[in-house]
Amino acid sequence: MSFVEYGDTIKDGDTAIVFLGHESMFPVKVQHGTVTQTKYGVIRHSTDLIGKKYGSKVTCSKGGWVFILHPTPELWTMNLPHRTQILYSTDISVITMMLELKPGSIVCESGTGSGSLSHALIRTVAPTGHLYTVEFHQQRAQKAREEFQEHGVEHLVTVTNQDVCKNGFGVSNIADAVFLDIPSPWEAIGHAKSALKAEGGRICSFSPCIEQVQRTCLAMEEYGFTEINTLEILLRVYNVRTISLQIPDLGKAAEDNSSTGFDSSSPSHQASPCANPQQGTVQFKSGVPLREVVGHTGYLTFATKS
């Protein structure tokens, strides 16, 4: 099993996603002899999972059923164990596009955090690219290494435990793109410039506060970056539901014609097909935004090495 290569069959040691519904799913490490408890009953890994195809419908001990899905970066973002605040698919999709990433790209990232963006970057640059990710916290760095190995992508990523603001990324003049998600990104702009290739490399900095953005933009200008721009991604989710409305009674055409003195026999004043509507209700689908939505998450600042 690998997060960048699809496999048909569930194997011992795989990470799989147990799908109970759109709002209810969780990851599980498949192990021979292990059981997993769900609200629909027990899932026995040896008989219910190992050897079955991904996407299979598995019946639990209480008679309910779940789907077992192959892991992807998108599913992992929704289900990963949170060690830090993470980036979600809305921001991740813009980051990978604006950094112009593709298979074979070399990317530097700091910090690694919970690995949400890291998995998406690895899949984007695979099979010949590489991710150099730096994490200041030693335990988080070690946990990230373990997850990358479990997910079959350790050959595509190098995890370093150090302070990027003081020691940089450990590489020079090879990166196609740099991503920063740290409290003081302006202190790492010089190291980011050193890690980027000689010309045309892209950089992105994620910051929740506009004061951080201001200082980062000033640092980017000082180090000669061009095309500096900041944007914010706001997601608005709509709830589609069925609504019933009463058909209005618009009155009779004959009464309208007599009251105005029109000749109802005249072709120009014949009753229209919508006259004399039958009283009743009509149902149709309507989309309305949710009452509570996620607001500001952070600012994305992009620039190009000149």
**pLDDT > 90: what percent of the chain?**
75
Domains of the chain: 9-71 (3.10.330.20), 75-234+295-305 (3.40.50.150)
- Residue range 5-50, pLDDT digits in tens: 899 999 999 999 999 988 899 999 999 999 999 999 999 999 999 9
Q: According to the model, what pLDDT value does residue 277 have?
A: 45
The C-alpha atoms of residue 77 and residue 208 are separated, in whole angstroms, by 19
Binding residues: 114-117, 135, 163, 181
Instruction: List, as residue ranges, the binding site for S-adenosyl-L-methionine.
Output: 114-117, 135, 163, 181
Q: For residue range 52-100, what is the model confidence (pLDDT) as tens digits?
A: 999 999 999 998 999 999 999 999 999 999 999 999 999 999 999 999 9
Q: Is the pLDDT of residue 246 over 60?
A: yes
209: CB partners within 8 A, 6+ apart: none
Q: How far apart are CA 123 and CA 60, in angstroms?
A: 32
In this prediction, residues 125-146 reach a mean pLDDT of 97
More confident position, 105 or 2: 105
The pTM of the full predicted model, rounded to 2 decimals, is 0.84
User: What is the per-residue pLDDT for 249?
Assistant: 76
Q: What does the alpha-carbon distance between residue 165 and residue 219 come to, in Å, rounded to a whole number?
A: 13
